[in-house]
Amino acid sequence: MARNWMTAAAAAAAALLASAPLAAQSPGYGADTVRTRAPQDEIIYFVLPDRFANGDAANDRGGLKGDRLRTGFDPEHKGFFHGGDLAGLTAKLDYIQQLGVTAIWFAPIFQNKPVQGEPGQESAGYHGYWVTDFTKVDSHFGTNDAFKAFVDAAHARGIKVYMDIITNHTADVIYFKECVGKPVCAYRSKADYPYWTKGGIKGARINGGFEGDTVATKENFARLTDPAYAYSPQVPAAEKDIKVPAWLNDPIHYHNRGNTSFYGEDSRYGDFVGLDDLMTESPRVVEGFIEIYGSWIDRFGVDGFRIDTARHVNPEFWASFAPAMLERAKAKGIPNFHIFGEVANDAMDPGFLAQHTRRDKLPAVLDFAFQAAVREMLTGKAGTDLFASLIAGDVLYEGGEAMALTLPTFLGNHDMGRLGHMLDKAYPQASEAERLARMKLAHVLLMTARGVPTIYYGDEQGFTGDGNDQDSREDMFASRVASYNDNRLVGTAATTAAENFDPSHPLYRLIAELSALRREHPRLREGRTVLRHSGPKPGLLAFTRGEDDSEEILVAVNTSSEPVSLNVEVGYRSRAFIGLAGTCPTTASAPGSVAIALPPFGYAVCRATPID
């Protein structure tokens, strides 16, 4: 069966390579530029393979037998596998490319523990974050050969491939004897349960000579031999060798201190909702993950990593890991390998994100501050001056404004939910026209602001979801989940009960239009952001991309439900304007000033032409 599938995957890849629509590629975005393009040149599409397209029904159960608690497959339940796979994703590359996407980031595809959870609360690893085998593709998604076929087909179209990786934890395999039968396994601190006594301060002395986890030498960690300083870790006999590589099966490589509350010390040392939290301070763990993920670069030539739960790992780990991955990629002929960490934060706080680029030395982070700014502005909770604060914070990142250009920006995701749902909650009485107008405005900001626009799959089809996590992970193919199928999508009368790959959807068309503009105009990718107008209430936000002595691009949006008409400062040399999107003025009102008039939720993207 595996041999037949590998042959089919190779055949599918060959067909896609031959049929790659070169007309959809803008100059500088063909297969020959995949390795040379800078991170800020990309437009990213983030997808969960299980929820996108089912190309091979034979792998729906991952080769397992039994009910959903054994196979993880139940297409009627939002928390189980639905059947999407790499074959389906590869077959839909036309749809993705015609949207204007130049890089695909997908949720982890490593082999997962099929099902986890207490009785009655089980769910499946369809999302990819419960890894048991870090060296191969989950059998629900296909094979390593299917992944190779996907990467090759994407590269043939000039599309990069970014993998989602995890170093903070593995699947939940280790349990603690003291917590059996308890609803919560509370975190036990390093002060109350130090490494040198068994089960607490009054316990027997253990781990003699170990100098603590801040002394990151092999000699020091060789003296850490007993993992029972806080709890007594146990591994079920049936799962004692389940993790790959084999070193991951030894409890000594984990913190074993109970569940995190996501605050203070336990944010780095506690189990993430029960998942086995790795001791990333240990040189053995650092070396192990450098080899694991370096191998994916070597074997498949991927173009970047998104790092899950980066804020829950000690900074010293990243200071070793990230440079090692960049060097591994360069050795493979990938000079612009993009690494961006997930530093989840709900607030518009660039400083919180920036510390992870300065102290942790992460090359980039997901721009949660951008999402917060757009969310707060478009839900009416903040004025447009919040965007000004966002841009002012760019100097805080390591490398300043230059790094800010490489931060992936987004409107929503698989954890926090979709912006469409957030807008519906803020404006439950909004008309269909207003709902669409607000979502269009959000995408104009996403596609014209500094950073790397990241589209969450389904947003281009008006998906809204019902909230966060499982409620925001709808199927693109015809869904059988009742709570998905009753959602009110934006810009269409369709539902998720039928497949949603409609290139005529107004949001799909808008994103494709703006993607073309971004690819064709370098200033939208690398131009400096100059704030031209903002205020303390919803209304006009205007900024230009590029210096005022060159051909700057003016972006103006109206976040209010009332029309706006204002004069906006522009560069002295900007005298005439060419409309790129929306309604633009044709000439400046006076040197250094242009009149902007926008309807409710209107926008304008205008290229200035300077005087000689």
Q: Which two tokens stand for residue 389?
A: 């604060």
CA distance 303 to 285: 23
Q: Are strands 175-176 and 233-234 parallel, antiparallel or unpaired?
A: antiparallel
AA identity, residue 495: T
User: Which of 41, 85, 342, 552 does the annotation list as catalytic?
Assistant: 342
Assess whether the previous peptide bond of 245 is cis (omega < 30° from 0). yes
> Which residues on neighbouring strands pair with residue 340, listed in sequence order?
306
Is there a contact between 169 and 255 (Cβ–Cβ < 8 Å)?
no
Residue 498 CB: number of other CB atoms within 10 A? 11
CA distance 208 to 205: 7
Q: Which two tokens stand for residue 568?
A: 């906006």
466 is catalytic: no
What are residue 164's phi and psi, to 5 degrees? -95, 120
With a CB cutoff of 8 Å and minimum separation 6, the contacts of 600 are 437, 558, 560, 561, 562, 563
CA distance 550 to 528: 11
CA distance 173 to 250: 11
DSSP secondary structure letter of residue 583: -
Nearest to 273 by CA among 123, 109, 165, 120: 123
308 is catalytic: yes
Greatest Cα pair distance, the chain, in angstroms, is 83
Instruction: Give strand ranges (E) for 156-242.
Output: 160-165, 175-176, 233-234
- Cα torsion angle, 98, 103, 107, 110, sign: positive
Is there a contact between 492 and 502 (Cβ–Cβ < 8 Å)?
yes
User: Which of 271, 276, 308, 474 does the annotation list as catalytic?
Assistant: 308
- Cα torsion angle, 390, 338, 411, 513, sign: positive
Is there a contact between 536 and 542 (Cβ–Cβ < 8 Å)?
no
Give me the active site residues, please: 308, 342
